[in-house]
């Protein structure tokens, strides 16, 4: 990609919404790596690690828009305005997001803002947190015998208790919960109130693809204790369904069902 030019040419840069994957630089796509290596400006989330940011040119400007549950460096509307402003100034902007830009990444909002301002935008998919966590933990999100439906939900959202999650988890289904560590107790209670059995199998995958990755397994009723007792911290995903059982335990469980 070209670098920024003088204002007399009135060049408009491109905004690339790039999925940075789960964190390990080896899991970036080749296209993502090329775009980062030629960016004028990199606007990145807090979960994008230093090794990935180091792939940007030395003269590139790195702008953090890190968000946490308690504090946002920049409001979403301001992030959208920043992307548009930088592109209209002639800069090629890489907007780096953990996982995939369009799975709980607000990439759709940012793309809409760019298009409305006449800024060219492209979206580069990344390995989602759900894909990475499940694969690296050897949890098949789908399985011909055990799960043919997968649902993704956000565990941190307004009106969590009022949402209807009935049918998202249970027999033949896998439920993946993003951003659910801080609300694990509410999630456990909510799912049981919506009809899921207290002994439903769960797994918490912390720091997928990164040093210190952990896979913690248990049952739904014990989810709050799993998170609290092990001091689980973000990034972490919660996976609920029979596919999360330990392989040997899963075989025994389904063999017992077959005999009944």
At 15-68, the pLDDT tens digits run 999 999 999 999 999 999 999 999 999 999 998 999 999 999 999 999 999 876
CB 148 within 8 A of CB 142: yes
Identify whether the C-beta of residue 205 lies closer than 8 Å to the C-beta of residue 137. yes
CATH number corresponding to 129-244? 3.30.950.10
pLDDT single digits (tens) 74-122: 899 999 999 999 999 999 999 999 999 999 999 999 999 999 999 999 9
The CATH class that applies to domain 15-124 reads alpha beta
Catalytic residue (choose from 26, 38, 67, 92): 67
- Helices (H), ranges, 124-231: 129-136, 184-193, 223-229
- State yes or no: is 45 an active-site residue: yes
CA 153 to chain centre: 11
6 confidence band (pLDDT: 50, 70, 90): very low
- How many whole angstroms separate alpha carbon 215 and alpha carbon 221? 17
CA distance 74 to 66: 8
On average, the pLDDT of the chain sits at 89
For residue 21, what are the CA distances in angstroms to 106, 195, 236? 15, 34, 14
User: Catalytic one among 45, 97, 100, 190?
Assistant: 45
Distance CA 252, CA 257 (A): 9
Q: Is-catalytic flag, 194?
A: no
Q: Where are the domains of the chain?
A: 15-124, 129-244
| pLDDT tens digits, 135-189 | 999 999 999 988 999 999 998 766 676 778 888 888 999 999 999 999 999 999 9
DSSP 91-105: --EEEEESB-TTSSS
């Amino acid at each position: 990609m070209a670098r920024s030019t003088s204002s007399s040419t009135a060049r408009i840069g491109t905004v690339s919404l790039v999925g940075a994957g789960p964190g390990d630089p080896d899991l970036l796509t080749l296209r993502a790596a090329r775009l980062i290596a030629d960016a004028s400006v990199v606007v990145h989330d807090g979960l994008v690690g230093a090794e990935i940011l180091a792939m940007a040119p030395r003269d590139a400007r790195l702008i953090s828009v890190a968000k946490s549950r308690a504090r946002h460096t920049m409001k979403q509307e301001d992030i959208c305005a920043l992307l548009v402003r930088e592109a209209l100034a002639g800069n090629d902007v890489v907007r780096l997001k953990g996982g995939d830009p369009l799975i709980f990444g607000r990439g759709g909002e940012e793309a809409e803002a760019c298009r409305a301002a006449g800024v060219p935008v492209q979206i580069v998919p990344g390995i989602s947190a759900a894909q990475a966590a499940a694969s690296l933990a050897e949890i098949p999100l789908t399985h011909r015998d055990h799960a043919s439906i997968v649902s993704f939900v956000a565990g941190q959202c307004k009106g969590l208790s009022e949402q209807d999650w009935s049918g998202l988890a249970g027999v033949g289904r896998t439920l993946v919960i993003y951003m659910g560590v801080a609300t694990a107790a509410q999630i456990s209670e909510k799912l049981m109130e919506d009809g899921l059995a207290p002994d439903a199998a769960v797994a918490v995958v912390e720091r997928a693809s990164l040093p210190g990755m952990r896979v913690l397994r248990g049952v739904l009723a014990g989810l709050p204790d799993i998170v609290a007792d092990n001091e689980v911290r973000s990034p972490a995903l919660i996976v609920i369904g029979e596919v999360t059982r330990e392989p040997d335990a899963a075989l025994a469980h389904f063999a017992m069902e077959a005999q009944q």
